[in-house]
Amino acid sequence: MKIVKVSLFALLAMVLAIGGVFAGGGQQGGTSGGKVAVTFAGTEGATSGQSRMMQEVADTLNATGRFDVKVYVAGALPGDTDNLVTQARLGVNLVVPSDPGRLASQFNIPDLNILMAPYVLTDYKLLEKLPQTALYKGWQAELEKQGLVLIADMFNGFRSFYTIKPVSKVADLSGLRLRGFGNAIGQALAKYLGYAQTTVNATDIYAGVQSKTLDGCEIQASTADSYRLYEVTPYLALTKHYMLQSSFVCGKALLDGMPAADRELFVKTVYDAAAKYSAIIAQEEQGYYDGFKTKGITVTEVDLAEFQKAIDPLYTNNDLKLTTGLKETLFRELGL
């Protein structure tokens, strides 16, 4: 595996290089030695399924001789996910794994929140059907109007709570300072489960717990493992409140600038890899939980019904500002 990690000095050179791609994109979405130049940029650690998926895409495309694809992970490129997505939208040749909740907030498409709303989608296999739904195609069109292309959604694990104290019921979360999503979904989850939400970068969770400015986080198992959170958070409550998805997005200018054959290959390669790694991540997830136990974490199977009941007001109060009947429409289009 050739995933790139870089020093601070190298980061400066990298930013300049990306800026050069933006400035000289031309008719082929940026070129490097006559090849289509693309950079994948994620915040997860190198061993996570998301990072491995991006590297496999890069290896597949680079093997054709038509692409020059680089992969940067663990927050190696400056800026958080939203900032990187903005750069992509503005023309930098980036592909960024965001998520539906982030995109909903960043691009003012509230209904996108339904894809990651707590305890709505609970089976990763539904993502295979999602691109064929009218709802999904409509969201893609709304994003494209704003200069962004949603290529594919990949299952990236269920998010649960990793904490410095035991959590077995909703009340145990009260008063804890936990890192989570800073978007509408994250704020609503904290509101109804009773913890204090904070939005430091994911790469700073470990240090935050060490320094006692954080009491833990809600995150997926693969990322918890890649960040070695088992060293600082001795408790895991398997609430599985979000079915996390990595939404791979790029600027419309990047795809429009590629020759048609390269564009088709690029999109298909990303889409196929997302489907492949959805299954891989689902298979690996239980292994992470078992591994955490051997590393000293106490893993608690909570009463999911209690947590779901605590979240119910999120929907009756419509904190996410979803269109009336959206959940029913989504389920009908998914054949549920």
What domains can be seen in the chain, in order of their start residue?
Answer: 8-155+246-285 (3.40.190.170), 160-242+287-333 (3.40.190.170)
Determine the pLDDT at residue 107: 98
Q: For the chain, where are the alpha helices, taking DSSP H only? A: 8-23, 49-62, 81-90, 100-106, 134-145, 184-193, 205-210, 221-226, 252-256, 260-294, 304-316, 326-333
Residue 235 CA, chain-centre distance (Å), reads 23
- Kindly state the tokens that stand for 294: 């051997």
Determine the pLDDT at residue 17: 44
Q: What DSSP string describes 6-75?
A: --HHHHHHHHHHHHHHHHT-GGGTSEETTEEEEEEE--S-TTSHHHHHHHHHHHHHHTTTSEEEEEE-TT
Q: What DSSP string describes 113-129?
A: GGGTSTTT---GGGGGT
In the predicted model, residues of the chain with pLDDT beneath 50 are 1-28
Determine the pLDDT at residue 79: 86
Determine the pLDDT at residue 31: 64
Report the length, in residues, of the chain.
Answer: 336
Determine the pLDDT at residue 290: 97
Determine the pLDDT at residue 157: 97
